[in-house]
């Protein structure tokens, strides 16, 4: 399913970069499989494609059908790992223009992933007087952005449909036992879905967190899980021919050789939010203790006309990972008898041929400019392919974190801003901190 081309690392890495890391990779793979490395309590995602809760999965499918019947809009409230996966898959498979398309599934609007008043007002006006439902997603149940948004949309639902009617339209995805959202959902009688204890936010796209909104968008979540299960099976085999081992070793070796940034590039505009999901996955997993490749993303060929100059000639900080999908359709470039633009040498050629040559040209130019290149080739986009790619990146991320000797499953750095924000907002208990912060501002 996935072909990894590392041939454009020649000259950037010593011959033995993989063999010299084989022992460490074997240990990393063992810790992931046995759930006993650093952060092992959060490695439930490793076997999720096989061991997911089948009863809940059926409830997700039933709830998705109900939402499709009851509403023209689903508002998905969540931030970080509680929203990026769903948006990534919906845009990748349903298009970034999903909401503009003619379809028999609801529009999906994302809220609670920021604190912009303008964005909130726009979401409300986009709903207009249409029927809507809400899927509020928060593992902790206490994250400020989604909690504030939920307050607002819950009130809107209650005003429009009454308390009873609102209850029928609110779906809560949260911890199975703890947290403010769990308490509220129990009290109000919302349909609940669980973020498993052993799966952290950024690894949760294949749980109810991602699956419910994805299913509402009409995407086949069984095929998505099947793709992930195929990857789980393929990547669990230890050894130097495992592509996850190869990619993790290459990233680590390049990092140790002085590279500081990994650019994820794709030639498909629908990949943009998948790259956002990937950035969170790698940024939160590796970026700690003063270590880690900074994950960045570019959309080609558009960004060749904005970021291309820096990538070619700026600081030699980066490696580039290109994800390529086989095209689904074909479009032939028309002939122009007058040939004013001089492009008749391309007449009758598929647009994908031009894209392929552009990609090959870029790879060679960047390699010549000192940017090592990793190429991931996938079949045409489908649910199965997407599930496979999700699991591949998750698994490589787990291996990479262990190679880097960090806990890839915590995110202690996220708390710093939250504590300051609570203090500045006047949350009870933070009075001393507030006074100290106000003095510094
Ligand atoms: O990956 C993570 O753990 C984070 O991005 C969380 O998903 C994010 O902070 C939202 O947290 P919660 O789901 O508890 O509201």
CA end-to-end span of the chain: 53
pLDDT of residue 13: 97
The SS3 call for residue 333 is: coil
pLDDT of residue 141: 87
Q: Of 144, 184, 201, which is best to mutate to test ligand 1, by the most ligand atoms within 8 angstroms of its C-beta?
A: 201
Measured CA to CA, the distance from residue 352 to residue 327 in angstroms comes to 7
CB-CB contact of 130 with 74 (8 Å): no
pLDDT of residue 142: 87
- Tell me the two tokens of residue 380: 């045409």
pLDDT of residue 416: 87
CB-CB contact of 252 with 403 (8 Å): yes
DSSP for residue 326: -
Average pLDDT per block of 10 residues along the chain, 441 residues long: 97 97 98 97 98 98 98 98 98 98 97 98 98 96 94 98 97 94 96 97 98 98 98 97 98 98 98 98 98 98 97 98 96 97 97 96 97 98 98 98 97 88 92 91 91
Residue 35 designated active-site: no
Residue 305 designated active-site: yes
Q: Residues 191, 262, 284, 299: which is the catalytic one?
A: 284
pTM (whole model) above 0.75: yes
pLDDT digit string, tens, across residues 100-129: 999 999 999 999 999 999 999 999 999 999
201 ligand 1 Cβ < 6 A: yes
**Nearby residues of 304 by Cβ (< 8 Å), 6 or more positions away:** 362
pLDDT of residue 278: 98
344 ligand 1 Cβ < 6 A: no
Residue 418 designated active-site: yes
Q: What angle do CA 245, 247, 251 make, to 5 degrees?
A: 115
**Nearby residues of 241 by Cβ (< 8 Å), 6 or more positions away:** none
Measured CA to CA, the distance from residue 67 to residue 193 in angstroms comes to 14
Measured CA to CA, the distance from residue 349 to residue 330 in angstroms comes to 10
Q: In which residue are the tokens 């041929």 written?
A: 353
């Amino acid at each position: 399913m996935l072909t990894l081309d590392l041939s454009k690392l020649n000259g950037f890495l010593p011959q033995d970069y993989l063999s010299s890391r084989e022992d460490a990779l074997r240990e990393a793979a063992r810790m992931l499989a046995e759930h006993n490395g650093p952060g092992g309590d959060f490695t439930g995602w490793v076997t999720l494609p096989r061991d997911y809760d089948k009863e809940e999965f059926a409830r997700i499918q039933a709830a998705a059908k109900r939402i499709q019947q009851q509403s023209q809009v689903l508002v998905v409230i969540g931030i970080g790992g509680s929203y990026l996966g769903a948006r990534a898959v919906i845009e990748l498979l349903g298009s970034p223009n999903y909401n503009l398309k003619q379809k028999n599934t609801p529009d999906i609007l994302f809220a609670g992933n920021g604190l912009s008043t303008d964005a909130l007002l726009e979401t409300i006006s986009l709903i207009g007087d249409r029927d809507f439902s809400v899927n509020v997603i928060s593992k902790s149940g206490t994250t400020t952005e989604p909690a504030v948004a939920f307050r607002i949309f819950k009130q809107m639902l209650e005003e429009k449909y009454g308390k009873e009617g609102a209850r029928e339209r609110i779906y809560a995805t949260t911890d199975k036992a703890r947290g403010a959202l769990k308490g509220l959902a129990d009290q109000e009688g919302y349909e609940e879905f669980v973020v498993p204890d052993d799966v952290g936010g950024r690894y949760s796209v294949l749980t109810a967190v991602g699956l419910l909104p994805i299913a509402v968008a009409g995407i086949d979540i069984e095929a998505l899980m099947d793709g992930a299960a195929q990857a789980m099976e393929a990547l669990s085999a230890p050894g130097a021919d495992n592509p996850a081992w190869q990619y993790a070793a290459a990233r680590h070796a390049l990092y140790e050789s002085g590279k500081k940034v990994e650019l994820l590039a794709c030639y498909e505009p629908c990949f943009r939010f998948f790259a956002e999901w990937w950035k969170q996955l790698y940024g939160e997993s590796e970026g700690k203790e003063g270590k880690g490749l900074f994950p960045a993303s570019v959309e080609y060929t558009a960004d060749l006309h904005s970021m291309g100059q820096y990538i070619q000639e700026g600081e030699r900080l980066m490696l580039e990972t290109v994800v390529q999908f086989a095209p689904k359709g074909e479009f032939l470039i028309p002939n122009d008898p007058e040939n004013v633009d001089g492009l008749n040498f391309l007449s009758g050629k598929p647009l994908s041929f031009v894209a392929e040559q552009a990609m090959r040209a870029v790879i060679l130019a960047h390699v010549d400019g000192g940017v090592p290149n990793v190429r991931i080739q996938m079949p045409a986009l489908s649910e199965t392919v997407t599930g496979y790619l999700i699991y591949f990146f998750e698994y490589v991320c787990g291996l990479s974190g262990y190679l880097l000797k960090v806990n890839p499953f915590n995110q202690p750095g996220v708390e710093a801003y939250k504590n300051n924000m609570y203090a500045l907002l006047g949350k009870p208990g933070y009075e001393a901190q507030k006074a100290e912060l106000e003095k510094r501002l």
